[in-house]
Structure 1
Amino acid sequence: MSTEHPARVAGLKSQAAVRAKDKDTWVSLFAVDGIVEDPVGPSFFDPDGKGHRGAEAIAAFWDKAIAQTDSIEFLFDDSFACGSEVAYVGRIRTTMAGQIIDAEGVFTYKVDNDGKILALRAFWETERAMTTLKPA
C-alpha cells in the first residue's frame, strides 16, 4: 500500500484537516469545481442529493456537518488506490453532544492532476449508523 498515491495523500490531508477542525485547510484541498457527497444521495445535509459543489457550498457543508461535532475519527481498515481515486473501507466515528455514532461504509476521494480533490463521496447508510448511537 503506497502512501504516495495522489488520491491517498489528498484523503489523508482531508482527514487530518477534519481532525484538527481546520476548515480553511480542508476547503483549500478541493478543486474549484470539487464536490462533496456525504452521504451519497438525498440526506439531512443534502435533501436534493446533488452534493455540495464549489468552495462556498463545501464550506457550508463544513458548517452544517463538521463544525457541529466534538470530534471525528477515521477508523479505516484498508484503502485501495486506482487511477486517480482511493477508496477507504471502515467507519467514521463522530462524537457530538455527548453521543457517539459510527458510520460504516466506503469513502472515496478522486483527485485532479494537481492532487486537488475533485470528489469526496461517502457511501454509508443513515439508518444503519443510527443503530450505533451510544453515550460518549
Structure 2
Amino acid sequence: MTRTEVLRQYLNPNITGIRFYPESIIWDKMGEKYLTRYINEPLRILYSDQVNATTVKNVNNRYRENYYLWRHILNDLRKYVFNEPLMFAKASIGVMRDGLLSGRRYGQIFRDVESFPCRILVILGSPLAWMLAKKTK
C-alpha cells in the first residue's frame, strides 16, 4: 500500500510509441526517497480462472518498453553494479538489443547510456546483442 500523495509525485511519463512504462523504474525512484516497510502477511489472494494479460507471459514486441528499463538500470542504478553484476551484464546487452529492435541507431543508444563505464559494458555486449536482435527479427 502506498499513500496517494506519494504516488501522485511519480506519474508515468507520457512517451508516445510505447504501450506501458516499466513500473519498476517508478518504484525504484520512489524507494530512493521514501522508506519501505515489508510485512509477511497476505493482504490479497488472487484467483485466476481465465487467461489474461496477468497470467500470460508475452514478452514479444516489448522492445520499446524494455529499452527504458535497461537504460534505467545502467543510468540510475549504477551504484549497485558490484552488488548485481549479472543484472548490469544483462542490461548492457538488453539496451543494445532492444534499442536496435525498436529502431534506434547505435549512436543514439550510446548517447542514452550516460556513464563511460556503462558505455564500455554496452560496447562489449554489442556483438551478442546484435546477434540476438538478428535472431529475433
Same fold (TM over 0.5): no
RCO higher in structure (CA 8 A, sep ≥6): 1
Which is helix-richer, 1 or 2? 2
Q: Quickly name the TM-score band, shorter chain normalised.
A: under 0.3
Which is strand-richer, 1 or 2? 1
TM-score in terms of structure 2 length: 0.24
TM-score in terms of structure 1 length: 0.24
